Structure 1
């Protein structure tokens, strides 16, 4: 720590102590070398993103300078025994060459910045000389007939020979295109037009594009020193102030869906359809080559795009705009900027799927991976590998395939005929399986993968080859495009005004589901669930039970991985399920405090309405709050909860947000509060509404999240505005009844007056009897047992102990999932240094050391000592003192 105390992290503001601790920890993780992992928790409102930027880029620039110095030392060592003047001359030439290349690159980027500024200043429109593309694409009739044979007929398939060029599942056309712009596979990449050496990079990923855009705006705040030693720069380098810093080279990556500028392709909407049509327009036989693809004719524009991307810290919208201005595809042109980029931003799915990384040209080997909002990274891994398909979709797929074969079947030859027939067999097998389940007893359950493909001999089909065929032949796109075209023609001939809605891309859904089935069978399960719709329907879902194998390609390749989030506690699951084989000394964890002073947080565990004597060991007394599944419907306890909330609302100003375990329980509680238990007494709901305006979240129907937040905010910030529930009291404010894990429990900002108190009711454990959670817990038990049986010291542990340990591991995972959801809800309130709020945890179990230990450190430290023994009276006294004298 003392060694790092002098590090200047180039933070644009005076960092708080917790920010310095966070930055030093990140820097240490990166400095320790290969195979390091950091799991860091920094509460929302503590400047986590900016701290990540300052720590990682300070390390990166320092690392680059160190590498250059090391190369000079290696040159000198290699010339040992040579005259000193020769060594000095060689080092001087090397330094001058390095300085020249660096300054040429910086000048090129400065020119790109000037071009961007000129365009913005002039606000020029697209050039009239620029090529125009018909928004309706090639199906715009304009008196011209669509050539169905050429457009929809599958070309001869050669079995999809592997080229061995290291570009994995990419089409031949895409491989050729990437080679043209210098991003080929195994061949040596040629340096073109000042291209820089591919250096160590920071891959930064977050959940959504909006979060990445926010990160990029933060990236514009700090300034960092150059990546080369200052004594290497030419003394004629110009302005000393400019020479003291070097702009960060950042590149955002995304899918074709976000970046395609070809209107005829982008309008397809579906990502799979866009991908297929894009690669089809690259085929050598295509008469409609995409005019925006990088090629020899537009190489100058491609390089302009590259320089502009590296010079301007763009977001996805900027790349799309620059691509349109230069008339070059931003999806492919951005690949030329990858070698020169220091920071590459991308959303979760593009990092977590190996096929997506291959398609984007991402190489993690030796690079840094920073995963922000990492509290849900395990769910994110499961989601990108999940897939589902419905019986109604399979029936539609069979209908579409039959329609296509009726038109083109006689023209399908050889391998095409065989493979299309296999696709039909798979669809029929899945349909028969689901049709049988639709009439069987039980609404949900687990299926063996061998059963779902048992009919029609589908279990004898090679799924890998079939998936490859559908992808490379563009069968799904061809079939769906032809059916859509035929439906449009029929609608046109019948005089229908409205165009038919584009068909759901059901064959692409089938491919995704089949691809999921190729995952390791021990790590996934297939579930069926009947749907409450008319006509009756049923769906198959594939669930990845463990992220370990899917994440291993990242964990084993990256130089270092940093998982950062506002609420990462508890940490153990990340260690066990993402890095199970990593030695403990390779994993660094940190739970930061908050930037607020301790006096700005009041946290209380409310176990009972009445005080509990210190010598009373009966922690589950009759009047205790325990919202377990077995006890939470107790009407007396629900009434006591309402009275507690009524008391809280009488003391807390402005906004109170209450989180319940589920939508079902929220509905049950509201119904009970709206009913009077005592004749002549008004219902609790009315008494609450007299204190504050009441709003509630619903699972479906009712106002949207945005509308609900607007109404809730208006009731607090504009006390005179009417409320749908009740007129605001003289004190003003509102209560928002929400659900842990619901629409308002993550990513919503209840700062300042919107969230002066957060109340969490009970522990929101997932339904342990649901098929997916049963399967998850059984999987954890079996893997832990397997690991224990393989350990050398197993003879010291008997079978009963091993089973107990396995069950405990499953219990921990189950409990940790619950507490991560609780911690996310708690984190909605305090959002900046001047903010203050109370957190009330209503359930006796929040008073136990086991549960307290899974709360974030800053909340745990703020819980009033022995609060669980002091009852409602103690809570009210504490809340009154906390809010006394504070500005409302």
Structure 2
């Protein structure tokens, strides 16, 4: 038995019978099966061990000398790691990162105990000037603290193991009775509590800030343990989190403490909250119940317990077994404890956390962002701030009332800041008034500095306003004041665009928008949309053009950052000098790892088809794509491919609008019925609620093909960037052929896209470079969408599929170079005629031996 196998719960490793142990230099990766070579390359640290961290890093010989996951975590790198879907990316991320975490904690523990050994150098920072008895005392104190922490950890590990064994033997068990129906009996609120804290702008006079925000200590918490280094795993959707947790449950790291975080929509178990139809209403109702618990006679949530022992027990249940969100919710129901708040309570002592959320710090932790191909778009979206006239009007009314109430009790500087805020709000309100001048349109875009100058607010120091709002707690105080003084409006439990949350201060979006005005002038634009018909629809939007600085705090605070994805190509968006995400990092801190697919080249056929059956060129540019003859030629081509393809066909269009145009024309003619004679036709719905129903019917049709007269499967018309182009698994017969109609370039007439392209050109111009880089960026946006769509088919090592690219522009060398590497490696065919293309696809499927 190896040393690792003898480790107890502290290591987070449980030896599972039949699991592979992959030996690296001196210790193993634990893997649930014999890994493929590319998984070893993904995980391995080669010759680098933790004791060699100060040495020059080694270079991988795999895929253009790129660093592996273990090496990158050890060296604190930013890693861009690409492993195609079906190659075991999730398991590699898990086993590689958890192995590193285990080694890190073991090394840290050894180092801490070594410092407590007498006569060891470097024990005290006070140096040799300290008497020996002082050094001895320091060593004993440090040793006692370590022993105390180790004992607490041992006892908790024992509790978790007991819970773990109990679940294995008895299944779920309910250890707590349902809480009694009781209400708090707090005294009536004093209006004094809404009085804003005094604030001095000078740093030397700022004083203490501990009383500005309620920060309840957890010193009485029986689970008060030292915070641990965490791996924070982030993904875009709830289903991707669940898939990741399912993979984690397969590993040998079964005693690692983990917690998955979700929204109230997925984690609330209170029926009065769950029945509401929008997240905003659920949040509001939940906060109503929390506040009601502190008022005599108020409604409250029976699952939101203040009992520390009960909450600690729920944390133990979460940490005892690796659970996904659904399993945490089920645990909450059986424990009569809120899973939403309970999971957040469990974050502090977790080692693996799914979803970064409020209250989780990345400082010193590992951040893994999966499906990172859309990271730049996500950052841009999060930091692009919108502010509508209703929020401005409500903020103005609340501040005016607040000032009227407390004017005589506020000091001069506080009054000055509040009056400056009112002046800024008035200026923003003026910007949304309908324009009578013909010089500007009702909607327009301005540079940040020009916008500030237009509003005549350039004499106000926005940085001081930012510090004041952050330090004074004005937004929270103002919200509490408004809840007490305003007449509450009872919102109906229906969806409507006019709903405004009661428990979110309208000053918050105002604050966010004002802070966006402090960003560098070149890096953002102000979009002004003025509605004459409905003034409440008028809004201001800060459009972020450069996401690098917004992501910088995460990169600099985290120990290491991993950007992982099945298809990261084209990767220039992350690394190009003019629009890269990490311009402030030295090049030796950024590493890139990519690997090929596990399928043999014979399991994939990629074909570029430049024209159709009647020799009409496939040119789906915006100017030509609505031509009736071209649409009919497309229909004839798809019908022919359906004749030679078994199972399912997924055909992607550039947009919902274009899909409707094509589908309606085919419906009026004979083309759709011709396609339907071989493949039952399904169409991606625009409504999200119908997606699952459509996918289920599509899969059912393919499974029951033998019972359907004349049909050889089904065809699904989908949209690039829609609900089925990412995160949907079209494995095996669900996706034997993927057809891409045209190149889905985004709308070049979009004002926001124009500003983004202008920004890229401006940066290139400042550095004296070719402004054609903007065209490259524009192509990258298109090809990222293409690559995500065509990657829906091959999902495991025994899968096979054909990919048909219908547009002559795919034959251009620069376009082909932006396709995924694993597709280029397998070969891209250009038959030279439609008949030859059909023959190649037919030959491909006839030559495939199922199960091989």
TM-score normalised according to structure 1 size: 0.74
User: 1 CA distance for matches of 2:846 and 2:487?
Assistant: 67
Change (3 A) 1:322 1:132: farther
Query: What's the CA shift string for 1:139-193, capped at 9, x where partnerless?
Result: xxxxxxx99x95999721124679999xx9998475530x3448xxxxxxxxx86
User: 1 CA distance for matches of 2:269 and 2:165?
Assistant: 22
Change (3 A) 1:193 1:535: closer
Please tell me whether residue 646 in structure 1 is matched to residue 639 in structure 2: yes
User: 2 CA distance for matches of 1:599 and 1:579?
Assistant: 38
User: 2 CA distance for matches of 1:768 and 1:501?
Assistant: 29
Query: What's the CA shift string for 1:360-414, capped at 9, x where partnerless?
Result: 151423x3211111111111112221232344x35xx637975997899557754
Query: What's the CA shift string for 1:700-751, capped at 9, x where partnerless?
Result: 69x8222322333333233488xxxxxx660332222221111211112222
User: 2 CA distance for matches of 1:258 and 1:597?
Assistant: 40
C-alpha contact (below 8 Å) 1:567/1:823 kept by paired residues: yes
1:12 is displaced (CA, Å) by: 0.6
Counterpart position of 2:126: none
What aligned pairs does 1:296-445 form with structure 2 within 5 A after superposition? 298-316=307-325, 337-338=346-347, 340-347=349-356, 350=357, 356=358, 360-365=359-364, 367-391=365-389, 393-394=390-391, 398=393, 402=397, 414-415=409-410, 428-436=426-434, 442=441, 444-445=443-444
User: 2 CA distance for matches of 1:170 and 1:322?
Assistant: 38
1:197 is displaced (CA, Å) by: 4.2
Counterpart position of 2:713: 733
1:336 is displaced (CA, Å) by: 6.7
Change (3 A) 1:782 1:456: closer
User: 2 CA distance for matches of 1:123 and 1:259?
Assistant: 20
Deviates further, 768-777 or 464-473: 464-473
User: 2 CA distance for matches of 1:181 and 1:108?
Assistant: 17
User: Among residues 802, 818, 822, which one is paired with 1:838 in the alignment?
Assistant: 802
C-alpha contact (below 8 Å) 2:613/2:637 kept by paired residues: no
User: 2 CA distance for matches of 1:438 and 1:19?
Assistant: 64
Change (3 A) 1:532 1:763: farther
C-alpha contact (below 8 Å) 2:115/2:139 kept by paired residues: no
C-alpha contact (below 8 Å) 2:645/2:737 kept by paired residues: yes
Secondary structure of residue in 2 paired with 1:763: coil
C-alpha contact (below 8 Å) 1:606/1:844 kept by paired residues: yes
User: 2 CA distance for matches of 1:479 and 1:100?
Assistant: 48
User: 2 CA distance for matches of 1:300 and 1:859?
Assistant: 55
Please tell me whether residue 709 in structure 1 is matched to residue 695 in structure 2: yes
Gaps of 5+ in 2: 1-21, 46-66, 122-137
User: 1 CA distance for matches of 2:293 and 2:575?
Assistant: 44
Counterpart position of 1:765: 745
Deviates further, 64-73 or 33-42: 64-73
Please tell me whether residue 512 in structure 1 is matched to residue 553 in structure 2: no
1:607 is displaced (CA, Å) by: 2.2
Change (3 A) 1:771 1:206: same
User: Among residues 795, 815, 822, which one is paired with 1:851 in the alignment?
Assistant: 815
C-alpha contact (below 8 Å) 2:196/2:477 kept by paired residues: no
C-alpha contact (below 8 Å) 2:402/2:478 kept by paired residues: no
C-alpha contact (below 8 Å) 1:690/1:729 kept by paired residues: no
Secondary structure of residue in 2 paired with 1:9: strand
Counterpart position of 1:776: 756
Change (3 A) 1:533 1:601: farther
C-alpha contact (below 8 Å) 1:419/1:469 kept by paired residues: no
User: Among residues 734, 757, 760, which one is paired with 1:754 in the alignment?
Assistant: 734
Change (3 A) 1:637 1:326: closer
Counterpart position of 2:125: none
Change (3 A) 1:484 1:650: farther
Change (3 A) 1:7 1:445: farther
Please tell me whether residue 628 in structure 1 is matched to residue 621 in structure 2: yes
Query: What's the CA shift string for 1:264-318, capped at 9, x where partnerless?
Result: 99999458758987997999999999999898xx444454344444333344556
Change (3 A) 1:71 1:757: same
1:322 is displaced (CA, Å) by: 6.0
Counterpart position of 1:51: 92
Deviates further, 117-126 or 441-450: 117-126
User: 2 CA distance for matches of 1:170 and 1:831?
Assistant: 53
User: 2 CA distance for matches of 1:280 and 1:163?
Assistant: 36
Change (3 A) 1:739 1:344: same
1:77 is displaced (CA, Å) by: 9.7
1:826 is displaced (CA, Å) by: 0.8
TM-score normalised according to structure 2 size: 0.76
Counterpart position of 1:689: 676
Gaps of 5+ in 1: 81-89, 139-145, 183-191, 225-245, 351-355, 492-496, 612-621, 677-682, 722-727, 789-801
1:16 is displaced (CA, Å) by: 1.9
Counterpart position of 1:665: 658
